Amino acid sequence: MRRLLTPTIVALAIIASAPFMSLLRRGLFDLFPERGVVILGAGLGLLLLVTLGIALTRIRSQRALRYSGLVLVLIALWVQSTHLSPALPRGLRLQVALSERIHIVEYGGLAFLLVGALRCRGLVWAALLATIWSTFAGALDETVQFIAPSRTGEARDIGINAAASVTGALFALCIASDARWRQPHLTVRAALPTLFRSTSVLALTIGFFVFFAHLGYHIEDPVAGRFLSWYTPDQLRALAADRAERWAGPNPPTGREICCLQDYYLTEASRHNGHRNERYADGDYLAAWHVDNLLHTFFQPYITKPLPPDGRLPSEEVDHSLLTRAGEGHTTGTYTSPVLRGRIWTTPSKPVWLALTLTLAAALWWAPVLIGRPTRART
C-alpha cells in the first residue's frame, strides 16, 4: 500500500486541479498572447526529448524489442497529438490542442508510476492494471470537469486519457530493468479478480458519465424548431419557471463561477444565445430569428435576466426588429439547430444505456467467480 501513495497523491492532485486548468491556460495565453503557444509547445517538446534521452540510457538489453516498443510509444504520441483534437476555430485550435497534450503528460505519467508501484504482481499484470486505474482517474477527472461551471467534460477526453495511460504503461515496460522482468508474476487465477473488478468499476464510472454528460433528447417544437437538449420539453419549462424566480435578483449567475456546480440549463441557454449572435454577426438574420424564437420559447429567463454589474449581455447587441423583419413570411418551427451536436447523444436511450452499463459492470464483477468455478467431472 505504501508504494501506491505517490501515484494516489498524483491522481488526486490532477483531479482536484481540473476546475482550474482552464484558468491557468487562459492566464498563460493572456500573459503571453503572442508566445504562449510557443512556450507551451517548447515545454512539451523538451519534456519529450528528456524522457527519450533517459529511456535510451536505460535500455541495455533486448534492444530490438525495447526500441520497437519505444517506436510504438512515439507513434501513439503522434496519433494523440495530431488526430484527437476537436474541430475548433483556427484561433483556438492550437491553444486547445497543446493544452490537451497535458493530458498525455498527466495520465501517461500516472500510469508509469502505477506500473512501478504494482510491479510486485509482475510487469505485464502491473501494466494492465495501471492502464485501467489511470483511465479510471481520467474518468473521474472528466466527471469533475462536467460538474465544474468553467469546464467541459466529454467522453472523447476520457478516450484521450485512456490512450495516454496505455502509452505510459508501455513506456514503463520498455525501460524496466532486467531484474524487474525476472520478478515472479502472479498466476492468471490470482490476477484475474482484481483485473476484472477494476474493469467493472471503470465500466460503471464511464457508463454513468455518458448517461449524465452525453445522453439527451431530440426536441421538436412548433415554434422553437428542432434542437438537442439534456432535458425533456416539460423539464425545460419547469427549469425556466424556476430560473425566472432565482435569477430575478441583482447578481444572476454568469456560468463562469468556480465554487458551484454547473447549471446545464444555463449552459444550454448560453450556447443557443451565442449561436444566435454568431448568425446575426454573419448576416444570416433568418437563422438568427429562428434561434431567437427558440430562446424565447424555452430560455426566456436567460435573455431577460438582469445585467451583470461588470458588463452587458451579448443578447442586448442584437437588433430584434431586424430579426422580426427577416422572419416575415417564414414559418416558425422549421429550423434545426446545430448547437450541442456531437455533445448530446439521443441513441441509445437513457434506459437502454443504463441497462447495458449495469449488465456489463455486473458481468465483469462476477466473471472471476464464474471462470474460477471448478467444473464437475462427468460420470
At 279-319, the pLDDT tens digits run: 998 999 999 999 999 999 999 999 888 765 444 455 556 77
8 & 157 share domain: yes
21 & 163 share domain: yes
174 & 246 share domain: no
Q: What is the CA radius of gyration of the chain?
A: 25
Are the beta carbons of 22 and 102 closer than 8 angstroms?
A: no
Cα–Cα dist 306/296, whole Å: 16
The model's pTM: 0.87
Q: What is the per-residue pLDDT for 177?
A: 81
348: preceding bond cis by omega (within 30 degrees): yes
**pLDDT of residue 95 exceeding 70:** no
109 & 28 share domain: yes
C-alpha count within 13 angstroms, C-beta hemisphere, residue 313: 20
pLDDT tens, position by position, 117-167: 998 888 999 999 999 999 999 999 999 999 988 788 899 899 999 999 999
Q: Is 345 inside any structural domain? A: no
52 & 117 share domain: yes
**Residue that has been written with the C-alpha cell 498563460 in this structure:** 28
Q: Is 343 inside any structural domain? A: no
**pLDDT of residue 31 exceeding 80:** no
The count of structural domains within the chain is 2
242 & 156 share domain: no
231 closest CA partner among 243, 239, 222: 239
Q: In this structure, what C-alpha cell is assigned to residue 257? A: 463561477
99 & 231 share domain: no
14 & 147 share domain: yes
Q: Could you say which of 164, 186, 208 is where a domain stops? A: 186
Q: Could you say which of 327, 344, 374 is where a domain stops? A: 327
Q: Could you say which of 310, 327, 344 is where a domain stops? A: 327
17 & 130 share domain: yes
More confident residue, 12 or 91: 12
pLDDT tens, position by position, 333-356: 899 999 999 899 999 999 999 999
Q: What DSSP designation does 336 have?
A: B
51 & 145 share domain: yes
Boundaries of domain holding 119: 2-186
